[in-house]
């Protein structure tokens, strides 16, 4: 059978088939599970005069005949065949590509690759380009961390000051509180001594150092 000039494109759920026949009349399109049959009259590239149109496409996979439709336009017959199972075929008919080269071609005006369709669906769902990102606005709540400024800085600094006291033998800390916090373990640490006793010792050391300091020069001894 000689096929009519045909273009096609697809989506995951349907096929777009265009029969290039102008001024078509008496058009009938019958859908089978794996076939699309076209009859009528019209003008094609092979003749400038109206002639009989007759073709049957043997599809690669099954379609849903009851849901498939067609319409006749001034320059073509457009067919929309619904796929029985979603997915990309990448080929319209059972025939190999080299066997259909003379009459079947891609309809680039309608063509979309699988990746393109996924992007198109995402764009429709995310109107304005940020549809799903609206939820990210909740991240603004992280600003609440600024609430740390609400801490009693005097108390915090005071607590840090107590840590400084550890350098001097932990004398600056309230031993009773420390013992309670550590469950009695502080008894051993109490041996570190009272820092109040250590401070005078530091002062005494300075005075003795001043008394025992040798003269810088022998002439000082004669003065």
On average, the pLDDT of the chain sits at: 73
Cβ neighbours of residue 196 closer than 8 Å, sequence gap 6 or more: 171
Beta bridge partners of 78: 18, 71
Give the percent of the chain with pLDDT over 70: 52
pTM tops 0.85: no
- Rounded CA gap, 32 and 15, in Å? 14
The secondary structure of 10-62 as a DSSP string is: E-SSEEEEEE--EEEEEEEEEE-SSEEEEEEEEEETTEEEEEEEEEEEEBSS-
Q: How far is CA 166 from CA 99, 141, 190, 223, in A?
A: 90, 38, 12, 47
Per-residue pLDDT reduced to its tens digit, 49-89: 999 999 999 999 999 999 999 999 999 999 999 999 999 99
* Of the candidates 33, 8, 36, 38, the residue with the CA atom closest to the CA atom of residue 85: 33
Give the percent of the chain with pLDDT over 90: 47
Under 8 Å between Cβ of 6 and 103:
yes
For residue 85, what is the DSSP state? S
Q: Which CATH class is domain 6-121?
A: mainly beta
Per-residue pLDDT reduced to its tens digit, 33-57: 999 999 999 999 988 999 999 999 9
* Across 25-29, 66-70, 157-161, least confident range: 157-161
Mean pLDDT (whole number) for 122-144: 44
Whether 112 shows a pLDDT value over 70: the answer reads yes
Task: Give the domain ranges of the chain.
Answer: 6-121
Whether 93 shows a pLDDT value over 60: the answer reads yes
């Amino acid at each position: 059978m000689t096929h009519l000039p045909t273009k096609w494109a697809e989506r995951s759920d349907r096929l777009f088939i265009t029969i290039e026949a102008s001024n078509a009349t008496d058009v009938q399109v019958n859908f089978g599970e794996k076939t699309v049959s076209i009859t009528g009259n019209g003008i094609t590239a092979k003749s400038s005069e109206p002639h009989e149109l007759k073709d049957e496409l043997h599809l690669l996979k099954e379609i849903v005949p009851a849901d498939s439709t067609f319409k006749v336009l001034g320059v073509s017959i457009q067919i929309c065949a619904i796929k029985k199972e979603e997915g990309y075929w990448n080929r319209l008919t059972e025939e190999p590509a080299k066997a259909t080269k003379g009459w079947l071609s891609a309809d680039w005006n309608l063509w979309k690759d699988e990746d393109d369709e996924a992007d198109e669906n995402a764009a429709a769902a995310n109107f304005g380009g940020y549809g799903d990102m609206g939820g990210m606005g909740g991240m603004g709540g992280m600003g609440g961390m600024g609430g740390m400024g609400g801490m009693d800085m005097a108390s915090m600094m005071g607590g840090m000051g107590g840590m400084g006291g550890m350098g001097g033998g932990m004398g600056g800390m309230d031993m009773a509180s420390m013992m309670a916090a550590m469950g009695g373990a502080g008894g051993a640490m109490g041996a570190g001594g009272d820092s109040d006793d250590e401070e005078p010792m530091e002062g005494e050391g300075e005075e003795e150092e001043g008394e025992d300091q040798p003269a810088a020069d022998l002439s000082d001894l004669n003065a």
